[in-house]
């Protein structure tokens, strides 16, 4: 029977990767993303804001990110988003900066700052101009690519760009991307051999336990619904915004054709959608009465 829990819903994502008991899965995911040599791979992490199943997550806009520190002191912020939000790139930078600056208190030496790495997993396309699902951003000199500092590193995983089937998975990042895209359809009792190692099996069991725990299932469904509702609301607002933008452009054009004073941007912005539509209708009627073909 399929697990039926989508790990891209941030509540489930944090359950899988945001519990100290699941340190192995988080280390595996981070190592897969960072692609460091064997001697630089993460062996352990401390989760600084662990998953709390009984915590209330009523605000559909709240951020269920994961903050962690590895054995070398490097800081990590991992976030799952099912859709693109307004100013998402700026928000990633803001949370990176917050985690970076919070390392120091007054009087501390800047040399004590440790590299801080943000990982954004998004079930949408953030960079349509880039091929592949994994993108790494560092602070480099523009013409020669010389690294200014290793203190900042941003990774983005775009899930829709990953389409490999199970037999074609070649490395751990492939396996985690497949898990995130398809775990809801997998059966824990018939687990694929390609994901048979501990990190993925443990992640699958976490989703199964979530599915079988009534109160957690309810929180998951509420969070999932909230995120979907927010996405629907945002799309509706964008459609309304585009419609209002077209109405404003039509009003300006008709006023120029009729040689009327053009309504200011501020005045148009203050009008409701109904008022804009009424003004368009009035101007259209006036144009037709003047013998102007529209």
Q: Which residue has the higher pLDDT, 232 or 199?
A: 199
Q: Find the angle CA(52)-CA(55)-CA(57) to the nearest 5 degrees.
A: 120
Q: Are 174 and 182 in contact (CB under 8 A)?
A: no
At residue 232 the predicted structure's pLDDT band, cuts being 50, 70 and 90, is low
Task: Provide the b/e sequence for 259-275 (b: ≥16 CB within 10 Å).
Answer: eeeeeeeeebeebeeee
Q: Are 224 and 6 in contact (CB under 8 A)?
A: yes
Compute the distance between CA of residue 25 and CA of residue 19 in angstroms, rounded to an integer.
10
H or E element: which one contains 69?
Answer: strand 66-70
Mean pLDDT of 209-229: 87
Compute the distance between CA of residue 239 and CA of residue 68 in angstroms, rounded to an integer.
39
Instruction: Decide if pLDDT at 53 tops 80.
Output: no
Neighbouring residues of 53: CB distance < 8 A, sequence distance ≥ 6: 15, 213, 215, 216, 219
At residue 57 the predicted structure's pLDDT band, cuts being 50, 70 and 90, is low
Mean pLDDT, the chain, integer? 88
**pLDDT tens column, 112-133:** 999 999 999 999 999 999 999 9
Neighbouring residues of 277: CB distance < 8 A, sequence distance ≥ 6: 247
User: 16-30, 88-102, 164-178, 258-272 — which is least confidently predicted?
Assistant: 258-272
Q: Edge-to-edge, what's the strand order for the sheet holding 75-81? A: 45-47, 66-70, 75-81, 116-122, 147-158, 134-140
């Amino acid at each position: 029977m399929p697990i039926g829990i989508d790990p891209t819903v941030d509540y489930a994502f944090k359950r899988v990767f945001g519990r100290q008991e699941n340190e192995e899965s988080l280390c595996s995911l981070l190592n897969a993303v960072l692609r460091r040599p064997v001697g630089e791979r993460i062996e352990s992490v401390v989760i600084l804001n662990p998953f709390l199943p009984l915590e209330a997550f009523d605000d559909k806009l709240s951020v269920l990110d994961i903050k962690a520190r590895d054995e070398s002191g490097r800081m990590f912020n991992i976030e799952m988003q099912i859709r693109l939000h307004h100013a998402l790139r700026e928000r990633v930078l803001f949370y990176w900066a917050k985690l970076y600056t919070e390392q120091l208190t007054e009087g501390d030496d800047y040399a004590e700052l440790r590299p801080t790495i943000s990982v954004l997993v998004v079930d949408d396309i953030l960079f349509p101009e880039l091929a592949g699902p994994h993108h790494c951003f560092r602070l480099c000199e523009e013409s020669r690519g010389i690294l200014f500092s290793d203190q900042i590193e941003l990774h983005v995983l775009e899930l829709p760009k990953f389409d490999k089937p199970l037999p074609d998975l070649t490395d751990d990042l492939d396996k985690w991307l497949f898990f995130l895209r398809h775990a809801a359809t997998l059966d824990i009792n018939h687990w694929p051999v390609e994901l048979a190692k501990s990190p993925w099996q443990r992640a699958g069991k976490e989703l199964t336990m979530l599915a079988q725990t009534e109160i957690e299932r309810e929180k998951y469904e509420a969070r999932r619904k909230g995120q979907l509702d927010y996405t629907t609301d945002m799309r509706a607002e964008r459609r309304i915004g585009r419609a209002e933008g077209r109405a404003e452009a039509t009003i300006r054009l008709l006023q120029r054709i009729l040689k009327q004073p053009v309504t200011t941007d501020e005045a148009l912005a203050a009008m409701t959608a109904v008022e804009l539509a009424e003004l368009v209708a009035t101007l259209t009627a006036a144009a037709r009465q003047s013998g102007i073909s529209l």
